[in-house]
Amino acid sequence: MKGYWIGLVNVTNQDAYAEYGKLAGPAITKHGGKFLARGGKAKTLEGPEHARVVVVEFPSYEAALKCYNSPEYHAAHEKQKGAAARNITITEGLA
Model pLDDT for residues 19-59, shown as the tens digit of each residue: 999 999 999 999 999 999 998 899 999 999 999 999 999 99
19 closest CA partner among 68, 90, 82, 63: 82
Q: Give how many domains the chain has, as a whole number.
A: 1
pTM (two decimals): 0.92
Domain that holds residue 49: 3-92
28 closest CA partner among 61, 50, 57: 57
Task: Please write the tens of the pLDDT for every residue from 6-20.
Answer: 999 999 999 999 999
The domain that holds 56 is classified in CATH as 3.30.70.100
Phi, psi dihedral angles at 7 (to 5 degrees): -115, 130
